[in-house]
Chains A and B, each alone.
Chain A
Amino acid sequence: MKSTLLLLIFLVGSWTDPVAAQSSIETDPGYVSFADLNDIFGVAPKIEANIHGAILRLVAEAAELEDPELADLLRRVRGVYVRVFDLNRLNLDTVKSYKDRVSRLLVEGGWDTVIAVRKRNEDVNMYVRLVDEEIAGMVVMSINHFDDETAFLNIVGDIDPEQIGRIGRKFGASRVSDF
């Protein structure tokens, strides 16, 4: 009985590892949660990626054969989170006000603005957070009327802003990549 109980505790403890891995990334200074997006927008994203921990290493390993440079980039980051929504299914005002609110919160939280572009068909903001003069995370938010898409991307870890496109493309946020 005692050994069964111990085995159960061991198994439960082991399977809760993902939760532990996730909560550790959530306390990372470079992490920004887009978890409430589905509720705010009222629809599910057309692309959702939550890549961290062992699955990130798996993706990096898989990238090694086709694109070793991308694999190296992925090994340096701790998490990649992507949400891409179809603009046609959304209320544009809701999207804009969400983007503005997150931008304000990021700046208040010590994030630096790298890009803030507002054009007729494109609206893009990029932020980085520096910790001890190193990049701890990056956020890109874009509203694109060419593709009728709005994308939210958060990369946790040390990433050169010029390389963001390679990671964005890998996870389906191709428009974000152009910046």
Chain B
Amino acid sequence: MEPSWMNNHLSKRLLILLAGLMLSGCMVSREISDVRRDIEKEFPGAEFDKEFVISVGPGFFNTVGWLAERVDDYDARRIADYLNEIRRVKVGVYRTEQLPYEGDLELESLRRFNENGWELAVKVRDDDEMVWVLYREWYDEVRDMFILVLDDENLVIVRVEGYLNRLLEKIVEDETYATRLFD
């Protein structure tokens, strides 16, 4: 029989290893910061202050998915199944310091979007808020999506990579099944 300190030691190692695996994809995203810089460059006078930027990568989703699959719970396994379809999520939230630009902000015309196959799906310019949804297709499936929301208070930048059609199909399938079951 092994001494208890060894068990503790092993558990600590396991925990560190697990945390390392989970956090392997969690880091600050340079891309999100670059988008913010591009916006400031393209629209002189616009200025944003970072509140937080985070990028969660495949390491995180794979580990959480792997763990959730092993939990004896239907919902956890469902979530594991959804996580398998997500590759990466990047989020940036900035405080709007200055937004002097009165005209039309055409973020979709930024070179990074223009030259890399991004398509503008929806753009909404409300009285006090602007929203852009851009996406890229790959093999007839939405695999990449950028959502930008800008108002007097914040600039929020979100990028989601994954098999988004498949993810939504799974969610709808499960929800429809559950609705039918309880109807």
Number of chain A interface residues as a range = 20 to 34
Tell which of A19, A50, A54 touches B141, judged by Cβ atoms closer than 8 Å: A54
Within 8 A of B (CB), among A44-93: 44-51, 53-55, 57-58, 61-62, 64-65
Give the distance in Å from the alpha carbon of A133 to the alpha carbon of B141 in the complex: 31
A22 at the interface (CB under 8 A from B): yes
Given the known A-B contacts A14-B138, A54-B142, A65-B172, are A47 and B164 also in contact in the complex, defined by CB atoms under 8 Å? no
Give the distance in Å from the alpha carbon of A57 to the alpha carbon of B163 in the complex: 13
Nearest chain B CB to A40's CB is how many angstroms away?
14
Tell which of B119, B124, B140, B165 touches A50, judged by Cβ atoms closer than 8 Å: B119
Chain A: interface secondary structure? helix
Give the distance in Å from the alpha carbon of A172 to the alpha carbon of B138 in the complex: 27
Q: What is the size, in residues, of chain B's interface with A at 8 Å between Cβ atoms?
A: 27
A39 at the interface (CB under 8 A from B): no
Give the distance in Å from the alpha carbon of A21 to the alpha carbon of B126 in the complex: 29
Tell which of B119, B122, B124, B164 touches A18, judged by Cβ atoms closer than 8 Å: B119
A53 B140 Cβ-Cβ under 8 A: yes
Give the distance in Å from the alpha carbon of A22 to the alpha carbon of B104 in the complex: 25
Give the distance in Å from the alpha carbon of A51 to the alpha carbon of B135 in the complex: 11
A7 at the interface (CB under 8 A from B): no
A18 B136 Cβ-Cβ under 8 A: yes
**Chain B residue with the shortest CB-CB distance to A11:** B138
Listed A/B pairs (16) with beta-carbon separation below 8 Å: A15-B117, A17-B139, A18-B136, A19-B117, A47-B122, A47-B123, A47-B124, A48-B122, A48-B124, A50-B120, A50-B121, A51-B121, A53-B140, A55-B137, A57-B165, A58-B168
